[in-house]
């Protein structure tokens, strides 16, 4: 099952790469630019075929992909001078920017559709219900034991177990007071006195049962303790609510991705520390970490809804992150090339104001050292993240 998770992730990654390049490809064709190659992967060619003026193919290393558009920058001269009129660099600035942004747009579109489809096909996870998902077998001796779910022979049975509560029961009242969500129920339990008697009314198999028990105390924890946790219930919304959910989740991932990128400098020194999970380094990872998380989710002893939800949200989050990073105004990212085009147009506008001719395209040869330096930084950070995920992984799925 773990291997199946890896396969799912790798296939999803390749599909994402293909969609990214398809975005560039379709718009370049739409604007009349000459596209000579569309390949998935790098290295030696495994297979290729030519359709019209474009060669399509698969390379040996599935580590990305590329689309070859004639005249992508000033260093790229067409093999046939007659193609110069259809080169990327001769297209209007707006069209060039649209082609460059199309790759990230495809990532964003895929992510939105995955989240939208998840909502309609599986449902939206809701853990604020009063349906019971966990019954603790004992009263833990400390908060640490409680967090770890540790029980010993000396620990007394939990009030929930003594009462006869079962996984799947839906609590409708606590001490005679109706409750409709986990927040209400949790507050009612915590506000009670440890050692006090209590009754829990549940719906089980269509029947109402009122079960008595006596609340307990966990050392270091304020309030009373019953020993229950909510089930995660997946509720399928209407299409309008699904759109709203997809939009809000998309926004949350964007915000989280921005925080992860901002925290990256502080995270790097902690990548190989024992407490990585509790630091900023626990919020960043590589494709290896994401693939391992996918495998762990598929192999986990949980319901299929949780597995599908986790995997789809992980893939959607990865696409959003890649789309955002790709649009950073740094070479060699697409966003860096967009920044160059914007600079060219601003420079041309200032030249017109001064009555001077358009300076034309930026000499990319002068930017090669900057582009190469940033590329090496990206490679170095990527290698560090991969190594950290191999020797010091973070458990994204949870215990």
| Position 2 confidence tier, pLDDT thresholds 50, 70, 90 | low
Instruction: Give the mean pLDDT of the chain.
Output: 87
The whole-number pLDDT of residue 265 equals 83
The whole-number pLDDT of residue 399 equals 36
Q: Do 201 and 261 have their domain in common?
A: no
Q: Which domain holds residue 261?
A: 93-125+238-399
Q: Is residue 21 among the annotated active site residues?
A: yes
The whole-number pLDDT of residue 257 equals 86
For residue 312, being part of any structural domain is answered with yes
Which H or E run includes 38? strand 35-51
**CA angle, residues 47, 51, 57, in degrees to nearest 5:** 20
Comparison of pLDDT for 361 and 242, the residue scoring more: 242
For residue 4, being part of any structural domain is answered with no
For residue 66, being part of any structural domain is answered with no
Outline where the chain has alpha helix (H).
2-30, 93-121, 143-148, 159-163, 182-190, 239-267, 287-299, 304-326, 334-353, 364-391
Q: Do 246 and 360 have their domain in common?
A: yes
The whole-number pLDDT of residue 97 equals 96
Q: Is the pLDDT of residue 22 over 90?
A: yes
The whole-number pLDDT of residue 7 equals 83
Q: Do 281 and 166 have their domain in common?
A: no
Lowest mean pLDDT, pick from 31-45, 161-175, 282-296, 302-316: 282-296
The whole-number pLDDT of residue 286 equals 78
Contact (Cβ atoms closer than 8 angstroms) between residue 325 and residue 382: no
| Position 243 confidence tier, pLDDT thresholds 50, 70, 90 | very high
Q: Is the pLDDT of residue 62 over 80?
A: no
Q: Do 99 and 162 have their domain in common?
A: no
For residue 44, being part of any structural domain is answered with no
Q: Do 254 and 380 have their domain in common?
A: yes
Lowest mean pLDDT, pick from 36-45, 47-56, 310-319, 382-391: 382-391
Closest of 296, 178, 157, 170 to residue 231, by C-alpha: 170
For residue 379, being part of any structural domain is answered with yes
Q: Do 348 and 370 have their domain in common?
A: yes
* Count of domains for the chain: 2
Contact (Cβ atoms closer than 8 angstroms) between residue 324 and residue 104: yes
Share of the chain above pLDDT 70, in %: 94
Q: Is the pLDDT of residue 146 over 80?
A: no
Which of the listed residues 231, 249, 273 is the one where a domain comes to its end? 231
Which of the listed residues 231, 259, 286 is the one where a domain comes to its end? 231
Q: Is the pLDDT of residue 333 over 70?
A: yes
DSSP-derived secondary structure for 218-286: -TT--S-B--EEE--EEE---HHHHHHHHHHHHHHHHHHHHHHHHHHHHHGGGTTSTTGGGSGGGG---
The whole-number pLDDT of residue 398 equals 43
Q: Do 105 and 166 have their domain in common?
A: no
Q: Do 274 and 395 have their domain in common?
A: yes
For residue 21, being part of any structural domain is answered with no
The whole-number pLDDT of residue 79 equals 67
For residue 199, being part of any structural domain is answered with yes
For residue 213, being part of any structural domain is answered with yes
Q: Do 136 and 180 have their domain in common?
A: yes
Comparison of pLDDT for 63 and 178, the residue scoring more: 178
pTM for the full predicted model? 0.79
Which of the listed residues 213, 231, 249 is the one where a domain comes to its end? 231
The whole-number pLDDT of residue 178 equals 94
Q: Do 270 and 157 have their domain in common?
A: no
Instruction: Round to whole Å and give the CA distance between 332 and 329.
Output: 9
Comparison of pLDDT for 264 and 194, the residue scoring more: 194
Lowest mean pLDDT, pick from 103-107, 304-308, 336-340: 304-308
Lowest mean pLDDT, pick from 133-142, 182-191, 278-287, 324-333: 278-287
Q: Is the pLDDT of residue 147 over 70?
A: no
Closest of 111, 132, 118 to residue 305, by C-alpha: 118
Q: What is the mean pLDDT of residues 303-313?
A: 87
CATH of the domain at 206: 2.30.42.10
Closest of 296, 203, 238, 3 to residue 116, by C-alpha: 238
3-state SS, residue 69 = strand
At 69-97, the pLDDT tens digits run 998 766 666 667 788 889 998 999 999 99
Burial class (CB in 10 A: 0-12, 13-18, 19+), 61: exposed
Q: Do 273 and 376 have their domain in common?
A: yes
The whole-number pLDDT of residue 276 equals 75
Q: Is the pLDDT of residue 1 over 60?
A: no
DSSP-derived secondary structure for 204-230: ETTEEEEEEEE-B--TT--S-B--EEE
Q: Do 343 and 265 have their domain in common?
A: yes
Q: Is the pLDDT of residue 277 over 80?
A: no
User: Of the listed 21, 53, 79, 292, which one is catalytic?
Assistant: 21
Instruction: Round to whole Å and give the CA distance between 381 and 261.
Output: 12
């Amino acid at each position: 099952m773990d291997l199946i998770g890896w396969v799912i992730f790798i296939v999803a990654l390749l599909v994402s790469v293909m969609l990214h390049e398809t975005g560039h490809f379709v718009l370049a064709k739409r604007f009349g630019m000459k596209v000579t190659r569309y390949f998935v992967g790098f290295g030696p060619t495994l297979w290729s075929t030519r359709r019209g003026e474009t060669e399509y193919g698969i390379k040996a290393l599935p580590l990305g992909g590329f689309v070859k558009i004639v005249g992508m920058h000033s260093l790229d001269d067409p093999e046939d001078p007659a193609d110069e009129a259809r080169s990327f660099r001769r297209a209007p600035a707006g069209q060039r920017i649209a082609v460059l942004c199309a790759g990230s747009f495809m990532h964003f579109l895929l992510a939105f559709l995955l989240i939208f489809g998840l909502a309609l096909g599986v449902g939206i996870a809701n853990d604020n219900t009063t349906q019971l998902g966990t019954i603790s077998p004992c009263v833990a001796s400390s908060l640490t034991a409680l967090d770890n779910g540790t029980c010993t022979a000396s620990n007394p049975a939990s009030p929930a177990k003594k009462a006869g509560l079962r996984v799947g029961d839906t609590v409708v009242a606590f001490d005679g007071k109706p409750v409709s969500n986990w927040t209400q129920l949790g507050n009612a339990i915590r506000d009670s006195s440890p050692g006090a008697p209590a009754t829990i009314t549940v719906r089980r198999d269509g029947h109402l049962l009122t079960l008595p028990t006596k609340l307990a105390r966990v050392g270091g924890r304020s309030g009373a303790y019953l020993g229950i946790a909510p089930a995660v219930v997946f509720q399928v919304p209407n299409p309008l609510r699904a759109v709203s959910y997809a939009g809000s989740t998309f926004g949350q991932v964007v915000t989280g991705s921005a925080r992860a990128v901002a925290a990256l400098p502080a995270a790097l020194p902690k990548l190989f520390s024992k407490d990585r999970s509790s630091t900023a380094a626990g919020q960043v990872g590589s494709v290896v970490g994401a693939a391992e998380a996918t495998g762990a989710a598929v192999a986990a002893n949980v319901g299929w809804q949780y597995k599908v939800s986790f995997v789809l949200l992980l893939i959607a989050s990865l696409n959003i992150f890649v789309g955002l990073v790709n649009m950073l105004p740094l070479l060699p990212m697409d966003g860096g090339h967009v920044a160059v085009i914007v600079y060219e147009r601003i420079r041309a506008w200032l030249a017109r104001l001064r009555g001077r001719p358009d300076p034309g395209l930026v000499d990319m040869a002068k930017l090669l050292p900057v582009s190469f330096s940033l590329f090496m930084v990206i490679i170095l950070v990527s290698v560090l993240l991969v190594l950290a995920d191999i020797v010091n992984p973070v458990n994204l799925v949870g215990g």
